Structure 1
């Protein structure tokens, strides 16, 4: 195993994360949302399993945004001109982000509403 190549792969991956943070508005929005959810989680005294779910949801959202950004770049590279299939590919990737985001909100409500019910109602 070439450890130099192995550690370089971490450098390349971190460059990808830095790039998406700098270039993608939606990714920055999800960072802000994650910070708010983490603060709410601390204040809500979540169980170990609730924390695991929240962390997995947050990381999953980051991953799907990274995949979406990659798909957009590949589509732009392979089809610089407007093409209906290129648009569909980009829309489908964005749709996956939307579906996952809706899922995270639903799961978040299932976790947080019972903890806040005494405060809110």
Structure 2
């Protein structure tokens, strides 16, 4: 969703189903890891780092040419674990949303500035 919104916001491209488009963005999450980086007095993680590795490709549907590709793109964000587990879920989701927006912005910028 973040990639779709970013392409709409920053380009004149229209986002349509893959079968109808001239370009197709395809991607794969290679890994998603949350690792504690700060521990509280009880030895439990209180701050976590989220690491996401992605494989992404932009292909011209008419020629099959790969216009942009990054086989291993890594994004990272940090969030604090709240005392209440409900708050943890909300912060975890917020961190993931921040990562998605940052990835989308980086992808669109890379595509716009790549040379065919």
Question: Common fold, TM-score beyond 0.5?
Answer: no
Higher fraction of strand: 2
Higher fraction of helix: 1
Per the shorter chain, which TM-score range?
A: 0.3 to 0.5
* TM superposition score normalised by structure 1: 0.34
